[in-house]
């Protein structure tokens, strides 16, 4: 809670002293077993500011609460009583009168919750793929090491491969599971499985009684899938990366979007047994020109015993084509069922921007609960194989382009790594529990996707920077400046006071927050200059670097102008940067640009502040971004990275750039040609002089590699674009220029 020590006027608006760190919106207990009760908010018009009823002192000048408006749910809105967390039962299929295994309950015990992973026992055999699954959970914000604080339990026993003929098969799993003291007949347990059953029928039995446990399973049929309980996941190979993963292969949106091949497939042809019917019939559709469907009989030890009259011809044709070349040059890729309903071809087609043509009747498609596969795939019917070519030829070119683009979004958002598959599974389960704040279809099926849009922040899409165009909205026309102060006030000529006055003069400035992270006491009230906007001084308790990115409730505007205390900006520069940001509300817009590079000699990422022809970061010492990134920084990033930043008192700006680029897949935006943005007269004994410390630069090099390791790839993107005012340095009258002062700087 806040402790407001003093309130005084700075003509004509008040400046609030806050004696302890402002508590951000209470951190949502992820996968919590209780929904916290919080305050309701009122919304002023469409896309207007959201103002807590408990804190009407933060009304902006000239704004009043409209009468008669009903409360609108916000990120802090939740029912106060304890939520009963019992999931809906499995639905009955068709008219058979059969009900799948009952496993409906999610315990509603008191207290916070998370995901607990059983410790691995000595001697237990665990494949690398399952180790990656467990590592993804343990590295996520869902993880808890205390089973007493958990709502979901994941086995430390490898359950991915339950094919008895597989070398990865774990024997005696039934007894081992029943011996777990927290098993409780599987209640609140989540079991991951890729392969079940074996020759010849490949049933979906995992080989032990799962009781009331949920299944996150590949190749699961709609008949056995329990809606709102199980999760269908994709089949992925043992080589699938744990984090990061490769990007999609679509580099250019070619018009028309047609490629060399219309439809391709290359894979095994099962001569007998389950899954053989469809693949054995593919030769009827193959024309050897733009429809190339290749199969080989060379599968298993006894394939020659079962070979038919077409095998030799099929095997010869199969060897003529390179699979990768076909994949990258095809418009559609056939994804028929194999022995099981799922296939590796599914993820391969998604990554290659080859629109999947599904030919696997009864397969519950991966994450079908949240993903609209009609936007990214063609759902075929095995019984109508001969109609597939004419069907895909009838699809309009603009539809093909849209399908192809959606494959790339889905691949990068949910499927490119084991970590994303696991996190998507957990997010889906969380949405089931907290229906009142669950993400809708637009969030899941549109950039940046469900993993980066945290529903605890808000249930209103207009509160996020990604949906303004969809909603026909614009961000609020004002910003909140957050000045990070670490040096005591000893002179009225200090840069922080000059900066405060310059920012306050901006026509777009709604308020200024000074985050007092100085070791010295708060200065007397008369030391602060009079301003035309409210000034709020917050004294941090921990005084760590990450506190500048906390989601303060005081920030009532969409835009945040982040400033170091020694930043030198004029009012005109502030105005121009904000007007640019209004056109790019999901990106960082600002002045100090930096870049990254790959050092081949050291085989590591490097950081440079040299003036080059491109940049990949805009430092938050003088930048504008959406306030949602404060929430994402606080609740999405792991504690290990934030602790590193706080211990070094460095790299917080780099980490914010990593985060925003990872979300947007876009670079930041630099404005004007200004390169020097720091006050050079700061005392070398101040904490702000850390930039002069030789270790400071070395630390930033190390941070780059630590951050890249956690993300699993380098999210930063280079840009050569700089935005200047129209008529900037043009030979026209200065009176015709809107931002004329920028040319004098």
pLDDT at 273: 67
Span 199-204, mean pLDDT?
A: 72
Helix (H, G, I), strand (E, B) or coil at 381: coil
> What number of other Cβ atoms are within 10 A of residue 317's Cβ?
19
**pLDDT band at residue 53, thresholds of 50, 70 and 90?**
very low
Using the CB atoms, write b or e for 87-107: b if 16+ within 10 Å.
bebbeeeeeeeeebbebbebe
| φ/ψ of residue 603, rounded to 5 | 55, 50
Tell me whether the omega of the peptide bond preceding residue 448 falls within 30 degrees of 0, making it cis: yes
Query: What was the pLDDT predicted at 97?
Result: 29
Q: Is the pLDDT of residue 437 over 80?
A: yes
- The string of pLDDT tens digits covering residues 111-169 is 346 999 999 888 788 999 999 999 999 999 999 999 999 999 999 999 998 888 888 88
> For 261-413, which CATH superfamily applies?
Glycogen Phosphorylase B; (3.40.50.2000)
pLDDT at 446: 97
Whether 39 has a pLDDT exceeding 70, the answer reads: no
Query: Which stretch, 103-107, 150-154, 539-543, has highest mean pLDDT?
Result: 150-154
Of 633 and 254, the one with more pLDDT: 633
In the structure, what pLDDT confidence band is assigned to residue 200 with cuts at 50, 70 and 90?
low
Instruction: Say if residue 389's pLDDT is above 90.
Output: yes
Q: Is the pLDDT of residue 562 over 80?
A: yes
pLDDT of 5 > 60? The answer is no
**What are the pLDDT digits (tens) for 23-34?**
334 334 344 343
Please report the pLDDT score of residue 168 as a whole number: 86
User: What is the rounded distance in angstroms from the CA atom of residue 52 to the CA atom of residue 41?
Assistant: 5
- The answer for residues whose C-beta is within 8 angstroms of residue 205's C-beta and 6 or more apart is 162, 196, 197
Q: Is residue 67 over pLDDT 50?
A: no
Mean pLDDT to the nearest integer, 36-41 = 29
pLDDT at 740 (0 to 100): 75
Section 687-699 average pLDDT: 71
Burial zone of 9 (CB within 10 Å; 0-12 exposed, 13-18 middle, 19+ buried): exposed
Question: What CATH class has 84-93+100-245+417-433?
Answer: alpha beta
Q: What is the tens place of the pLDDT at every residue in 289-298? A: 999 999 988 8
Please give the pLDDT value at position 493: 79
Instruction: To the nearest 10°, report the CA torsion of 358, 361, 367, 369.
Output: 120
Q: Is 13 a residue whose pLDDT tops 80?
A: no
Looking from the CA of 582 toward its CB, the CA atoms found within 13 Å total: 15
As a whole number of angstroms, the longest Cα–Cα distance in the chain is 96
pLDDT attached to residue 743: 73
All structural domains of the chain with their residue ranges: 84-93+100-245+417-433, 261-413, 479-723
Q: Do domains 261-413 and 479-723 have the same CATH topology?
A: no
DSSP 411: I
- Of 258, 255, 249, 253, give the one whose Cα is nearest residue 350: 249
Whether the pLDDT of residue 319 is over 50: the answer is yes
Mean pLDDT of the chain: 83
What is the per-residue pLDDT for 92? 38
pLDDT at 30: 40
E-only strand ranges, 161-227: 161-162, 189-193, 195-196, 214-217
pLDDT band of 512, cuts 50, 70, 90: very high
Task: Kindly report the pTM of this predicted structure.
Answer: 0.83
Residue range 448-487, pLDDT digits in tens: 999 999 999 999 999 999 999 999 999 999 999 999 999 9
Share of the chain above pLDDT 70, in %: 80
Residues 6+ apart with CB under 8 A from 624: 479, 559, 560, 561, 562, 577, 578, 581, 588, 589, 590
C-beta separation of 168 from 127 below 8 A:
yes
pLDDT at 396: 95
CATH number for the domain whose boundaries are 479-723: 3.90.550.10
CA distance 615 to 675: 12
Residue 282 three-state SS: helix
The helix/strand/coil state of 261 is strand
Higher pLDDT, 162 or 215: 215
pLDDT score recorded for residue 490 = 82
Per-residue pLDDT at 745: 59
Does residue 93 or residue 675 have the better pLDDT? 675
Per-residue confidence (pLDDT) for residue 623, from 0 to 100? 98
**Residue 110, pLDDT above cutoff 60:** no
Predicted pLDDT of residue 694: 75
């Amino acid at each position: 809670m806040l402790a407001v020590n003093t309130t005084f006027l700075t003509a004509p608006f008040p400046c609030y002293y806050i004696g302890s760190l402002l508590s951000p919106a209470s951190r949502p207990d992820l996968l919590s077993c209780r929904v916290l009760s919080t305050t309701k908010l009122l919304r002023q018009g469409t896309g207007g500011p959201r103002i807590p009823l408990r804190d009407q002192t933060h009304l902006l000048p000239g704004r009043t609460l409209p009468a008669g408006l009903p409360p609108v749910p916000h990120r802090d809105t939740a029912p106060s009583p304890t939520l009963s967390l019992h999931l809906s039962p499995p639905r009955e299929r068709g008219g058979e009168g059969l009900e799948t295994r009952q496993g409906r309950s999610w315990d509603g015990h008191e207290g916070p919750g998370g995901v607990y992973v059983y410790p691995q026992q000595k001697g237990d055999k665990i494949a690398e793929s399952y180790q990656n699954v467990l590592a993804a959970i343990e590295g996520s914000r869902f993880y808890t090491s205390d089973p007493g604080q958990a709502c979901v339990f994941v086995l430390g026993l490898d359950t991915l491969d339950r094919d008895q003929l597989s070398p990865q098969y774990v024997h005696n799993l039934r007894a081992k599971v029943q011996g777990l003291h927290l098993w409780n007949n599987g209640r609140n347990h989540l079991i991951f499985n890729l392969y079940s059953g074996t020759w010849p029928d490949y049933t979906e039995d995992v080989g032990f009684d799962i009781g009331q446990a949920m299944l996150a399973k590949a190749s699961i049929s709609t008949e056995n899938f329990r809606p709102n309980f199980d999760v269908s996941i994709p089949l992925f190979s043992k080589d699938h990366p744990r984090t990061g993963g490769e990007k999609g292969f679509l580099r250019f949106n070619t018009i028309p979007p047609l490629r060399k091949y219309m439809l391709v497939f290359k894979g095994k042809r099962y001569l007998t047994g389950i899954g053989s019917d469809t693949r054995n019939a593919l030769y009827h559709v193959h024309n050897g020109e733009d429809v190339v469907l290749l199969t080989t009989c060379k599968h298993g030890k006894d394939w020659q015993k079962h070979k038919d009259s077409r095998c030799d011809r099929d095997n010869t044709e199969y060897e003529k084509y390179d699979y990768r070349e076909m994949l990258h040059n095809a418009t559609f890729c056939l994804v028929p069922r194999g022995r099981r309903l799922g296939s590796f071809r599914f993820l391969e087609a998604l990554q290659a921007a080859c629109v999947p043509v599904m030919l696997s009747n009864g397969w519950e498609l991966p994450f079908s609960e949240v993903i609209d596969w009609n936007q990214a795939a063609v759902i075929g019917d095995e019984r109508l194989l001969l109609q597939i070519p004419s069907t895909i030829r009838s699809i309009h070119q603009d539809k093909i382009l849209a399908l192809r683009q959606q494959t790339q979004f889905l691949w990068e958002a949910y499927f490119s790594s084991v970590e994303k598959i696991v996190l998507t599974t957990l997010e889906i389960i969380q949405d089931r529990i907290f229906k009142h704040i669950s993400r809708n279809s637009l969030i899941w099926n549109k950039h940046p996707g469900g993993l980066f849009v945290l529903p605890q922040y808000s249930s209103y899409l207009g509160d996020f920077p990604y949906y303004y165009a969809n909603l026909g909205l614009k961000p609020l026309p004002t910003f909140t400046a957050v000045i990070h102060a670490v040096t005591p006030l000893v002179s009225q000529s200090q840069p922080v006071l000059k900066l405060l006055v310059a920012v306050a003069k901006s026509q777009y400035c709604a308020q200024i927050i000074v985050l007092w992270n100085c070791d010295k006491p708060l200065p007397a009230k008369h030391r602060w200059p009079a301003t035309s906007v409210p000034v709020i001084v917050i004294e941090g308790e921990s005084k760590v670097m990450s506190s500048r990115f906390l989601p303060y409730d005081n920030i009532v505007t969409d835009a945040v102008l982040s400033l170091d205390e020694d930043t030198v900006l004029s009012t005109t520069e502030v105005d121009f940067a904000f007007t640019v940001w209004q056109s790019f509300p999901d990106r960082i817009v600002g002045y100090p640009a930096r870049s990254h590079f790959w050092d081949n000699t050291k085989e590591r990422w490097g950081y440079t502040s040299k003036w080059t022809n491109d940049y990949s970061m805009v430092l938050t010492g003088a930048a504008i971004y959406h306030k949602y990134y404060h929430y994402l920084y606080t609740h999405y990033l792991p504690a290990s990275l934030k602790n590193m930043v706080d211990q070094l008192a460095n790299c917080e700006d780099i980490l914010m750039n990593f985060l925003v680029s990872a979300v947007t897949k876009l670079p930041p935006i630099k404005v004007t040609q200004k390169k020097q943005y720091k006050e050079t007269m700061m005392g070398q004994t101040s904490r702000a002089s850390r930039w002069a410390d030789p270790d400071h630069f070395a630390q930033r090099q190390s941070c780059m590699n630590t951050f890249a390791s956690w993300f699993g790839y380098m999210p930063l993107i280079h840009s050569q674009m700089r935005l200047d005012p129209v008529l900037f340095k043009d030979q026209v009258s200065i009176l015709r220029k809107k931002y004329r002062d920028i040319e004098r700087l």
